Structure 1
Amino acid sequence: MILIADGGSTKADWILLDSLGKVVLKTRTEGLNPAVFPGDLLKKRVEENKDFQFYKNKIEEVYFYGAGCGTKKPTALLKSILESFFIKATVVVKEDTYAATYAVTTKPGIVCILGTGSNSSYFDGKNIINGVPSLGYILMDEASGNYFGKRLIRDYYYKRMPKRYLKKFEDQFDVDPDVIKRNVYKENNPNTYLAHFAEFIFRNDRNAYSDKVLEKGINVFFKTRILTYPQIKNVPVHFVGSIAFFAKDIIEKVAKKYDVELGSIVRRPIDGLIEYHRRKINLEKI
């Protein structure tokens, strides 16, 4: 049996395939970003999933594709946790850019992630080449959920948000400054906490203000994470993630502005991952 995971900071989707590639189980855990969460919390989130208990000793391979798995130390941490839980399995942990790529293309292209965080990479048809390493939600993550969440909080406090949206924002979120500061500076998951404010843009009717916020952030992402690739004029650009999915119209507008060819825009890469691993299973049988 093969267990596949698409993991972010907010959640991780898991799919269990049998030896024929049939889906046996679909389940979900809370986010498992090893660059953000401590080891004991990661371990707890895996162990708390009741669906794993019946199958854990039957699983032979685990493939985890996740945010925060682009550098050695956090990747090794999560790998050791998964190996200690799925004791009979070979465990492979890769960055989420691999999941995004496998989900949208088998040909050369630039693949972008816009979810709780953001990232991009170039796929040459065989290898995934990262451009600029991601430094996370404080220093980077342009056009991500936490990027837009920070923008909305600032606009609310600086009164740059239209008046009729100020009240809506107050009704939907706890905007007490002490609550915000505690969650950002003292609690776990500050990037996920910030990202949930971005829901305001998509939970309410889109308008001139929200479109301006989205367009500015996506413009920055194009400039820093897409236009910097020398292959940009020769390959399509694909997007994966909830922010990308719901802001598709803005992405199309900005892509047209920069004369960039758009490829697929997919909300969740897990379905593409299933097909990728099914192909691997079939090839191994040949």
Structure 2
Amino acid sequence: MILIADSGSTKTDWRTLDAQGQVGQARTIGFNPYYQDSAAIASELQTSLIPSVQETVTDVFYYGTGCNNEESCGVVERAIRTVFPDAKTVEVSSDVLGAARALCHHDTGIACILGTGSNACLYDGRTIAQLGGTLGFWLGDEGSGGYLGKTLVVRYLHGQLPPELTEKFRKRFPNVDRLTVLDQAYKQPFPNRYFASFSKFLFDNRSHPVAYQLVYDAFALFFDTYIRKFPAYEQLPIHFVGSVAFYYSDLLRQVANDKGLTVRRILENPIAGLTLYHQGVAGAE
């Protein structure tokens, strides 16, 4: 049986794929090797995942947040091998590679993430050929939910929103003021999640020209910052995964079209695409 995982810091989606091609599913908490050690991850898998796995696991393909180097991948791999000692293959990779395989399968293309954060890569059909090089929440993440929310809140605090949007924002978020925002930004954990929570306000008010333009400009910046750096980007298919890309798909496609580009596949999350990818791998083998 093949076990496939797409893990963020909040939740992990799991799929099982047996020899007959039957697919099962499970969900556990999310994992991040920067904050959890192998023992903690193994303990959670033993408690929350094992009851959903009925057959012997032979191959595990795990794609997750924080799995960016050999050390961090090793933390997760040791946990998985502890829980599934019979597994012949345990492959731990970044969420960016997971997005690329979910979106492009075995074809060359540009794979992009637009969710709480953002990223992009050039994919050669199996591995990442070139990373977009995002600088994270404070210095990058252009086009993401965190970026959209941060831009909105900054404009609100500086009095740069039109009166009708300001009043709507104040009614919806009556406790948002300068001191609260600064505390969340610099003293509390996960400021990206905090600011991303405001992005739905933009979605709900996207018919307003100011809200529309804010999102449009953020997406345009994403294309200009990341997509244009890839060789032959104008000839390659461009795909997206993530909640922001999914819910703003019409506007995202409009920005791409205005730049002479075409966005192909847009997925809300990668797990279904990853299952199809590994079904293809299993079939080829």
Could you say whether these structures have the same fold, taking a TM-score greater than 0.5 normalized by the shorter chain as the test?
Answer: yes
Shift of the 46–210 alpha-carbon distance from structure 1 to 2, 3 Å rule, reads: farther
- Structure 1: 5+ residue runs without aligned partners? none
2:75 alignment partner AA: L
Q: Closer, same or farther in 2 for the Cα pair 1:134/1:17, shift >3 Å? A: same
Q: CA deviation at 1:55?
A: 4.5
Alignment partner, residue 162 of structure 2:
162
Match of 1:71 in 2: 69
Is contact 2:238-2:263 (8 Å) kept?
yes
RMSD: 2.8
Q: What is residue 271 of structure 2 aligned with on the other side? A: 270
What amino acid does structure 2 have at the position aligned with 1:97?
A: V
Change beyond 3 A, Cα 1:41–1:150: farther
Q: CA deviation at 1:94?
A: 1.0
Measure the CA separation in 1 of the matches of 2:138 and 2:71: 19
> For the Cα contact (< 8 Å) 1:29–1:49, is it kept in 2?
no
- CA distance in structure 1 between the aligned counterparts of 2:45 and 2:183, rounded to whole angstroms: 26
2:210 is matched with 209
> TM-score, length-normalised on structure 2?
0.85
Q: Which letter does structure 1 place at the counterpart of 2:93?
A: K
The amino acid that maps onto 1:142 is: E
2:168 aligned partner, one-letter code = K
Q: Which residue of 1 aligns with 2:138?
A: 138
1:17 aligns with 17
- Give the Å deviation of 1:58: 4.1
C-alpha distance in structure 1 between counterparts of 2:153 and 2:225, whole Å: 23
How far apart are the structure 1 equivalents of 2:264 and 2:230? 16
Compare 140-149 and 249-258 and name the one that shifted more.
Answer: 249-258
Aligned to 1:91: 90
TM-score (ref. length: structure 1): 0.85
Residue 64 of structure 1 deviates from its aligned partner by: 1.5
Taking the aligned partners of 1:280 and 1:19, their CA distance within structure 2 comes to: 13
- Cα deviation, 1:123-157, whole Å, max 9, x if unaligned, reads 23344212343332122211111111211211121
**1:85-234 matches, cutoff 5 A:** 85-89=83-87, 90-105=89-104, 106-173=106-173, 174-204=175-205, 206-234=207-235
Relative to structure 1, the CA distance from residue 122 to residue 73 in structure 2 (aligned partners, 3 Å threshold; closer, same or farther) is same
Compute the displacement of 1:48 (Å): 7.6
User: Cα–Cα, structure 1 residues 126 and 203, in superposed 2: closer, same or farther, change >3 Å?
Assistant: same
User: Counterparts of 1:16-55 in structure 2 under 5 Å?
Assistant: 16-30=16-30, 32-34=31-33, 37-39=34-36, 43=40, 47=44, 51-55=48-52
Q: Does the Cα contact within 8 Å between 2:100 and 2:111 map onto a contact in 1?
A: yes
CA contact (8 A) 2:145 2:196 kept: yes
Paired residue for 1:59? 57
Percent identity of paired positions between Structure 1 and Structure 2:
35
Does the CA contact (< 8 Å) of 1:218 and 1:254 recur in 2? yes
SS in 1 for 2:26: strand
How far apart are residue 230 of structure 1 and its match?
1.7
Change (3 A) 1:273 1:214: same
Q: 1:195 to 1:42 in 2, by over 3 A?
A: farther
CA contact 1:39–1:78 (8 Å) conserved in 2: no
1:205 shift after superposition: 5.3
Gaps of 5+ in 2: none
Q: In structure 2, the residue corresponding to 1:103 is in which secondary structure? A: helix
Q: CA deviation at 1:276?
A: 1.2
For residues 26 and 87 of structure 1, what CA distance do their matches in structure 2 show?
Answer: 20
Matches within 5 A, 1:241-260: 241-260=242-261
Q: Is this contact kept in 1: 2:41–2:79, CA < 8 A?
A: no
2:166 & 2:40 partners in 1: Cα distance? 40
Aligned residues: 281
CA distance in 1, matches of 2:204, 2:232: 36
User: Is the contact made by 1:10 and 1:192 (CA closer than 8 Å) also made in structure 2?
Assistant: no
